[in-house]
Structure 1
Amino acid sequence: MAATQVIRSEWTKIRSVASTVWTLSLAVVVTIALGMLISGLSANEFDNMSERDRLSFDPTFISFAGMSLGQLAMIVFGVLVVSNEYSTGMIRSSLAAVPQRGTFLFSKIAVATGLALVVGLATSFVAFFLGQAMLGEHRAALGDPGVLRAVIGGGLYMTLIAVFSMGVAAMLRSPMLSLGILMPFFFLISNILGNVSATEKLGRYLPDQAGSKIMQVVAPVGDDTPYGPWGGLGIMALWVLAALAGGYATLRKRDA
């Protein structure tokens, strides 16, 4: 089967599965709604902030506060796109139709990545504009230095989270196992490692900690992170490439 036919087939699969559509919709709603809420609360508390907090105040990054939960929906999307066929047994039919396993896997990932990118960028821009509206006089403008980079970076961050999850799901082949590892890792373990002094320097190289640097415009006071916004996104991209390589290797070696 030609690559274009495989891509068309994968697009049909993704849009016909209700769970993938719902998870993307949830990512959009949660990211925007929580970002607006945190932005509104931050605007009300600004006058009560300490001098140190005001110096670190980053209106752009605050509007992306909802991504901490929105990324969980992107993780679910990435896992379901890849592992649904394993849980239903359809993987045997798919590999029979497309014996070239690399073509099969990367066509699926390419379609899902394109969809995640469109949704991620749209979500990032809407979250930014609505978040800045809630911040009122403390808002940033899209033309301010570093802001456009941060907003585009927010969409790239959401996309890379989804693709990383696809790679992990391709390795583990089980939606429950994949989610059972990824959810606690991003929601709990990464935050703990990044906020405990003994492991802080290790935590900053985890995919979400490094990748989120792209959304920062104002560096926190005392920040000694050895990489910048694009360096952080590059570290995250390396994690994604490693996960995809692992997923491809697993698919090649194991039976369906």
Structure 2
Amino acid sequence: MASFPAILNSEWTKIRTVRSTGWTLALTFVVTAGLGALLSFLTNHNFADFRKGATGPFDPTATSLSGIALGEIAMIVFGVLAVGNEYNNRMIRVSLAAVPQRGTLLTGKLVVVGLLALAVSLVTAFVTFFLGQALLGGHRTTIGSTDVLRAVLGAAFYLTLLCLFSAGVTAMLHNQTLALGVLVPFFFLLSPILSAVPKVKNVAHYFPDFAGREMLTVFPGPEAPYGWTEGFLLCAAWTLAALVGGAAVLKNRDA
């Protein structure tokens, strides 16, 4: 049996030698920071128009972090590719031959994926926040203001949990194309559609994307069903369920 540090090193080598995984992480940063900067700039120069009819307080933190709405696509793809590449090229059989303990192999993979996603997410969240605040001009806030640091960290943890959730779903399905075919419509079609239907919109409030986004707001909206703590717990519960499911499938199903 390979030692756990050796497994971690192996998984790190697999990820860094596949160009697509590096590009998706870079895209997470570029899209999140770029869109956040653009919206912050437009908000600053059209503040009166953007705030027309608004009743709640302006949330400069959420404005600067609004690029996560698209950046999360790249993080989802990274989670899928980090696990699915081995199934796609059938190298998973070689990995299992080297490490027959399937739970240990998956744990090592998820540790590397999670740490890498967290590192990129932290850099992305903080750079995006400070860039956005610089472009908001007189409407900006500071990292030391109430709940602002918590919201920026919440954005990083949300992206990380989303990545691990995607990795878990991919481990369950054993197919990266199928995983993307499930995850992308779930987050960007099913969840938004349900959120817009009055009779069932409460169901969407407990989906991981809605729950996770509550983590990065300083001033929750008037219709928010819960706060950031509950949002974190819900998002973490979805992630844990996906990881447990992935581990169970890997253990009981042929590769």
- Which residue is equivalent to 1:176? 177
The CA distance in 2 between the partners of 1:50 and 1:158, in whole Å, is 28
List structure 1 segments (4+ residues) > 3 angstroms apart after TM superposition.
49-52
Check whether the contact 1:78–1:162 (CA below 8 A) recurs between aligned residues. Answer: yes
**Is the 1:124–1:154 contact (alpha carbons within 8 Å) kept by the matching residues of 2?**
yes
Compute the displacement of 1:4 (Å).
1.1
Q: Are the counterparts in 1 of residues 41 and 135 from structure 2 also a CA contact under 8 Å?
A: yes
The answer as to whether partners of 1:116 and 1:159 remain within 8 angstroms in 2 is yes
Q: CA RMSD in A?
A: 1.2
The alpha-carbon distance between structure 1 residues 55 and 252, as it changes in their structure 2 partners (threshold 3 A), is same
| C-alpha distance in structure 2 between counterparts of 1:121 and 1:213, whole Å | 17
Task: Check if 1:253 corresponds to 2:248.
Answer: no
Corresponding position of 2:234? 235
Cα deviation for residue 49 of structure 1 reads 4.1
Determine the C-alpha separation between the residues in 2 that align with 1:194 and 1:40: 28
Alignment partner, residue 223 of structure 2: 223
- CA displacement 1:100-133 (0-9 Å, x = unmatched): 0000011001001000000001100000000111
Q: Which residue of 2 aligns with 1:198?
A: 199
| Per-residue CA distance 1:194-239 (angstroms, 9 max, x = gap) | 232222211110001001101000122x3241x2102101100000
Is 1:19 the counterpart of 2:20 in the alignment?
yes
For 1:38-117, list aligned pairs within 5 A.
38-50=39-51, 52-53=53-54, 55-117=56-118
Distance in structure 1 (CA, Å) of the matches to 2:49 and 2:98: 63
Aligned partner of 1:244 in structure 2 is 243
Structure 2's unaligned 5+ residue stretches are none
Corresponding position of 1:35: 36
Residue 153 (structure 2) aligns with = 152
- Aligned-partner residue type, residue 177 of structure 1: L
Q: Distance in 1 between matches of 2:50 and 2:86?
A: 51
Whether contact under 8 Å (1:124, 1:152) holds in the other structure is yes
Aligned counterpart, 2:144: 143
In 2, the alpha carbon distance for the partners of 1:56 and 1:209 equals 20
Q: Which residue identity is paired with 1:244?
A: L
Contact 1:56 1:219 in 2 (8 A): no
> Normalising by structure 1, what TM-score?
0.96
SS at match of 2:46: helix
User: Deviation digits for residues 159-212 of structure 1, max 9, x if unmatched?
Assistant: 001000000000011111000111111112111222322222111100010011
Instruction: Measure, in 2, the Cα distance between the counterparts of 1:54 and 1:127.
Output: 26
Q: Is the 8 A contact 1:58 1:216 kept in 2?
A: yes
Counterpart contact for 1:194–1:209, Cα < 8 Å: no
The residue type paired with residue 115 of structure 2 is G
Query: Residues 40 and 131 of structure 1 are in contact (CA less than 8 Å); yes or no, is this contact kept in structure 2?
Result: yes
In structure 1, how many angstroms separate the alpha carbons of the residues matched to 2:197 and 2:62? 22
